[in-house]
Amino acid sequence: MCGIVGYIGTQKASPILINGLIRLEYRGYDSSGISTIEKNELSLMKDKGRVKNLYNLEGINDLKGTIGIAHTRWATHGKPSQENSHPHMDNSKTFSVVHNGIIENYNELRNFLKQNGYTFYSQTDTEVIPNLVHYYYNQDKKSDDLKFLCAVQKACTDLKGSFAIEIICKDYPDNMIVTRKDSPLVIGKGENENYISSDIPAILSFTRNFYLLNDLELAILSRDTIHFYDKNLNPITKDTQTIEWNSSSAEKDGYEDFMLKEIHEQPTAIRETIGAKFNEATKCEFDELNYTKDYLSHLSKIYIVACGTAMHAGLAGKNALEKLCNITTEVDVASEFRYRDPLVDEKTLCIFISQSGETADTIAALKLCKEKGAKTLAISNVIGSSITREADDSIYTHAGPEIAVASTKAYTSQVMLITILAIYFAEILEINDDMISTLKRDILELPKKIEETLALSETIQDFSKKVYQEKDIFFLGRGIDETVAKEGSLKLKEISYIHSESYPAGELKHGPIALIENDITVVSIMTDEKLVEKTISNIQEVITRGAKTLVITNQKVDENMFDLTIKIPETNPFISPILSIIPLQLFAYYISKEKGLDVDKPRNLAKSVTVE
């Protein structure tokens, strides 16, 4: 839940490092720092608070080193403080380290190092790393070019948990070593310079050519070379991958906030997700998949496993998988999934959804399913991310970088991709249903309808001004609309800090109605014509008790019944969540703005949750 940046080249490192940290602010953090090599000595500049605080540190403008590492920290071990901020050095100030992840056996390692004369100055788990590297470095009496690398490799062998690490050494002023395990790290290749980051957008303006490390692989970087090694220090070769994202995708492009920009990018994101996978006359194609009728017809169950918003996308996708493919589908929260010993075997297909591809709980659940013999399929927005390398197969949303912590275009792209996947499965199973051809046509028309829905922004903004000071807001829906209620409620919680709850509308009278009182706001989604009348009956119960009502619908309703009715375009029920969530994304956004909050970086949250 923090960010890493590194640079080695011919330019001054400090401005590049700080710029990279600013681009990683969306991940959530409480402190930041940089370390460079200055005349064969290590410099260290760090402080708690925002990255901009680094500009005020004495001497930071005097840094001239062309190699350095940087970090934004989110406190796990030890409170936010200057002492606990990264980077960390060993006692002799020979090594400087930044680290994402959790070292689970840090107490054991700390005690071992104390017994060997080392002193600790922070409460962090990370501080054991530079001291452990120094311990092995001191034991090695050789002075060859691999002494630094060997010490890092031995130290990493002792670490248990997750880590992405950058290390510089004053004795090797022309080298940097990076490695990872269960935590993201990418290497960007430049001309006589190389870049390192935990997230591609942080360095996308410098290069589009990236190397991706697998678990426990190491890389030793100079200005013009990169040498890769496996965990046993056997040399390996790697090819670069070219990332096609436009660097301006990581900028606001005139929008006040990244979240608003990304809400308005949804027509484009959906077009990219649809890609060339089908047209009305052709079967759906996934070049990267090779599922057979025999395999799919013998499945006993599909599991969709994810966290937060991605899990809500799974709930929307469950509807299409069950109704189009006739395969029982369950959606499970990744953080709970593996602890209940799920009934998974070779007749189970397990689908894992993660925008970043680095969600720790989801990756752990994936590994468990592989151990149990299930086929695994990853859905991610990031090519080469950890989850896509662990899974048997992977497909991508191609939504482009999502910078705001609260997910918007990633969610709608995930719903879109799962729905297309359901069509793909149904066609392999030779389920010749008119529903599929109709759904294809509706999917191709969807981006235009999203644009029509976005045009409703001003009306939603006006309503938000009337309710932004409320303490509680409720969301109701039935069927597929109930999954949208969950996501709408989550969005409001995430960025406005208003307590909100979502319920199936039919459950209202089984307890929650006790919370409805005069002037409270209730939001309802109604897009399923078979359930509209029943949902209206439930809404009438809250109106009777004095509630204000906001209704999102594409059905014929008596708009005079409600305080505000947002009419969205009609579309296929399988993809209606993609349209009906957009007014709720805007609703949460405008309420947060009215409250004067930081929309893109809500408190206590991070974009990529890389620890359990």
Q: Read out DSSP for 4-15?
A: EEEEESSS-HHH
d(CA 73, CA 161): 17
Q: Which residues contact 3 (CB under 8 A, 6 or more apart)?
A: 20, 21, 24, 25, 27, 29, 71, 72, 100, 197, 198, 199, 202
Catalytic residue among 46, 318, 449, 607: 607
Q: Take residue 342 and report the two structure tokens written for it.
A: 């799920």
User: In which residue are the tokens 């969709």 written?
Assistant: 304
User: In which residue are the tokens 């307590």 written?
Assistant: 499
Tell me the CB-side half-sphere exposure of residue 608, using CA atoms within 13 A: 32
Q: Where are the alpha helices (DSSP H) in 326-479?
A: 334-337, 360-371, 386-390, 409-428, 434-454, 457-467
CA Rg value for the chain: 26
- Catalytic residue at 607? yes
Q: Read out DSSP for 16-84?
A: HHHHHHHHTGGG--SEEEEEEEETTEEEEEEEES-GGGGGGSTTGGG---SEEEEEEE--SSS-SSTTT
The SS3 assignment for 387 reads helix
The SS3 assignment for 101 reads strand
**Helix-helix angle 434-454:409-428, to 10 degrees:** 170
Q: Please answer whether residues 96 and 130 qualify as being in contact, where contact means their C-beta atoms are separated by less than 8 angstroms.
A: yes
Query: Is the previous residue joined to 87 through a cis bond, with omega within 30 degrees of 0?
Result: yes
Q: Take residue 236 and report the two structure tokens written for it.
A: 């390996």
For residue 213, give the amino acid letter: L
Q: Please answer whether residues 65 and 6 qualify as being in contact, where contact means their C-beta atoms are separated by less than 8 angstroms.
A: no
Residue 468 burial (10 A CB sphere; 0-12, 13-18, 19+): middle
For residue 99, give the amino acid letter: H
Four-residue CA torsion sign, 153, 155, 160, 166: negative
- Catalytic residue at 2? yes
Catalytic residues: 2, 607
